[in-house]
Structure 1
Amino acid sequence: MRPRRVAIQPDKLWREDNPRHQSYSARWTELLTRDGHEVVPVDVFAPEAFERIRACEGFLWWFPPLPFPRDAAKRIILALAHATDVVLFPDWKEAWHYDDKIAQTYLLHAARIPMPETHVFWRYGDAVAFLRDARYPLVMKLAAGFFAQRVTLIRNRAEGEKWARWLFSSGLSNLHRPFRRLVLKEFVSLWRRHARTLDVSHGGEEQGYMLLQEFVPGNDFDTRVTVIGDRVFATRRYNRPNDFRASGSGLLDMDPAKIDRDALALGLHTARTLGAHSLSLDILRHHGQPVITEVSFGYEAAQVAIRPGHWRGDALTWSEGSVRAEDALLEDFLSRLPA
């Protein structure tokens, strides 16, 4: 392959002494430089950013699910996809619905991808009318958020109407205050250390809508499937004690023999249907079939690297050995650059 010119927006999310430290950009820069390619570091918030990116064949940017830089990044990616020929990761098909459960709901519905019955209400009266005759419990989600701190269970009509009044008036920023104090405080502290590229001060209340999803009983775990190209990685994530949520529990089982092949096949099919080069999916079982509750292009690189191997292609052939997400993403990205 001839030398390429690739723009990269730096990312660095965790402190150096934290085992969860990751930087996609550092690994991409290391690999590209080693192989003789030119890396052009950019600051997407600087006036000259677009000209620097336009002078390159490709642009790489991993960004976290925080209001900033997430909201800015989605707009920038869409602008570049609309007006340039630069090859992007993520591209617009992966970025536009990132950390937006409402957008994901509409996308999965439109693509006829199996998911639990999910409703988005934009009018208070419609939400209350639905809650009046709904079958409980229901899962309520805020559109943005991670580690399940913005997901809760509604057990009856009174609870549902209470949440509806909040959402259609002053709004909500979080559904689990103790979790917010104990966990998000640490994340905010870490991210503030990297204020040059991240700024957690950009936030706000979620309001003016209500997102409700059918509760799927009988699931002590979900299956986290990650698709990179034709590679499929998967892990069981067990629920927290006395909780219905698996996201962020840290209770992982990476035994490949326990992974349902139809969940793997659904993950690969969904990524291809949505045109995603990278996609992480949370999968439950409903009436014996796999269903998807959330999708995202972004995920912790370590959650891929710690897996003992992966499945590949339509035949889902097992391939033994650890793979770094950054490496697989870069390999596929380079293959998409013009000859």
Structure 2
Amino acid sequence: MKIAICCRKGSFSDYWLTYCEENGISYKKVDAYQSDIMKQIEDCDAFMWHFSHLDYKDKVFAKQLLYSIEASGKPVFPNFKTVWHFDDKLGQKYLFESIKAPLVTSYAFYTKQEALLWANKASFPKVFKLRGGAGSTNVKLVDTRKEAVSLISRAFSRGFSAYDPLASLKDRWRDYRSGKCPFFVLLKSFFRLFIVSSAIKLLPLEKGYVYFQDFIPNNDTDTRIVVIGDKIIGERRGVRNGDFRASGSHILLPDASKVDMRCVQLAYNVSQKLGLQIGVFDFVHDKDNPLLVEVSYGTDPDYTECEGYWNEKLQFTSAPINLPKMIIESFIQNSSN
């Protein structure tokens, strides 16, 4: 097998290239941004690309390219089942509801009138989300009906930028005060209030819909479960002081004995049912009941802090974790079957 790998610095591809070199696997570096990408991969048997939801170019065509290569008969990572709903909370709402997965109760509206009718009857607080964004970006706690009406009005008028520099600065300031953010990162975030990069300017506005979820109180952690084939990684993540979000907090709690095994089982079951190559699931607890918040494919290439992994029988193995290695090994194994 010869694998075409689209390289992006800081992504899984850094590890995939090393893995291929060390294990004698034939590979070819390709550039997905070139118009002749289909010709580039003609002599390859498979294609792998860890694309970014934060790059406007990737948002324009990455999924379409992957679908097209998969349609030609070549195995791809990520494939259609794994990635069509990536960075799309609206899509995930319908997906989870279709298989009756225990999703946090969610509300989607596509007209201002329907959204306002709902807001007038709803209880608060609620959580407002844009369909895209990671690390808790584009997520706000809405305490009052007045705040909800303001967000709804904006959603059906000028819309929202995919990047909120003020919210980002507030998060970096909170992280800096807790010792989790270097000063230069804080400074960089401050300057983004005044200097917006051309790449961010090219991201489309989010408008024409509005999306809320029920607020689930009394969660000082959430649970992150990663399923790759028959291996399952899990850890909890702490909520920042004065915040309600764990995603993006960088407070990692990898003690496997503290992970709710119901989350492990649920994540594995959903991943199998949906046929995911990788599923990165976030859970919160409503009293004692685990609820899904969202799923992703693109995650940090780390998890080295985790203590090991469970198998499909929920048996735990203590072992160093190398997530990109697990991905490429699973991909090669399944592509060869």
How high is the TM-score relative to the length of structure 2? 0.88
Counterpart among 149, 152, 168 of residue 180 in structure 1:
168
Q: Structure 2 counterpart of 1:279, which letter?
A: G
Residues 247-266 of structure 1 correspond to what in structure 2 (within 5 A)?
Answer: 247-266=247-266
What's the CA shift for 1:187? 7.9
Distance in structure 1 (CA, Å) of the matches to 2:201 and 2:156: 23
**Superposition map of 1:1-339 within 5 A:** 4-12=1-9, 22-66=10-54, 67-82=56-71, 84-173=72-161, 177-181=165-169, 183=172, 186=188, 199-302=199-302, 304-313=303-312, 315-338=313-336
Q: Secondary structure at the match of 1:337?
A: helix
Describe the shift of the 1:170–1:201 C-alpha distance in structure 2 as closer, same or farther (beyond 3 A): closer
Which runs of no fewer than 5 residues in structure 1 stay unpaired?
13-21, 190-194
Question: Is contact 1:229-1:277 (8 Å) kept?
Answer: yes
- Structure 1 residue 199: deviation in Å? 4.7
CA deviation vs aligned residue, 1:153-185 (integer Å, no higher than 9, x gap): 111211110110000000011686533346598
Number of residues paired by the alignment?
318
Conserved? CA contact 1:69–1:199, under 8 Å:
no
Q: Which 5+ residue runs of structure 2 have no aligned equivalent?
A: 173-184, 192-196
**CA shift in 2, pair 1:330/1:188, >3 Å:** farther
- 1-side partners of 2:96 and 2:223: how far apart? 18
> For 2:212, what is the secondary structure of its paired residue?
strand
**Match of 1:19?**
none
> Which residue pairs with 2:194 in the alignment?
none
Mean Cα displacement is larger for which, 253-262 or 43-52? 43-52
Shift of 1:52: 2.3
SS in 2 for 1:245: coil
2:41 counterpart SS class? helix
After the TM superposition, list the runs of 4 or more consecutive aligned residues in structure 1 that deviate by more than 4 angstroms: 174-177, 182-189, 198-201
Relative to 1, partners in 2 of residues 1:38 and 1:200: Cα closer, same or farther, differing over 3 Å? farther
- After TM superposition, the structure 1 stretch with the greater mean CA deviation from structure 2, 34-43 or 222-231, is 34-43
In structure 2, what is the Cα distance between the partners aligned to 1:54 and 1:137?
53
CA apart distance, 1:290 = 1.1
Aligned CA-pair RMSD: 2.3
Q: Which amino acid aligns with 2:252?
A: L
Deviation at 1:9, TM superposition (A): 0.2
Q: Is the 8 A contact 2:235 2:255 kept in 1?
A: yes
Q: Percent identity?
A: 28
Matched residue type, 2:279: L
1:280-300 C-alpha deviation (Å, 9 max, x unpaired) = 011011242211101001100
In 2, distance between residues paired with 1:105 and 1:319? 33
- 1:204 match: secondary structure: coil
Q: 1:188 to 1:292 in 2, by over 3 A?
A: farther
Paired with 1:275 and 1:149, the residues of 2 have a C-alpha distance of: 28
Name the CA shift for 1:118/1:31 in 2 (closer, same or farther; >3 Å).
Answer: same
Distance 2:188 2:314 in 1: 39
Cα 1:57–1:175 shift into 2, 3 Å: closer
Aligned partners of 2:104 and 2:206: how far apart in 1?
22
Q: Which amino acid is 1:140 matched to? A: F
Counterpart of 2:330 in structure 1: which amino acid?
Answer: D
After TM superposition, give the deviation of residue 35 of structure 1 in Å. Answer: 2.3
User: 2:53 touches 2:59 (CA, 8 Å); kept in 1?
Assistant: yes
Aligned residue type for 2:4: A
Q: Provide the C-alpha distance between the structure 2 equivalents of 1:231 and 1:173, rounded to a whole number of angstroms.
A: 37
Q: TM-score, normalised by structure 1?
A: 0.88
| 8 Å CA contact retained: 2:162, 2:204 | no
Structure 1 match to 2:178: none
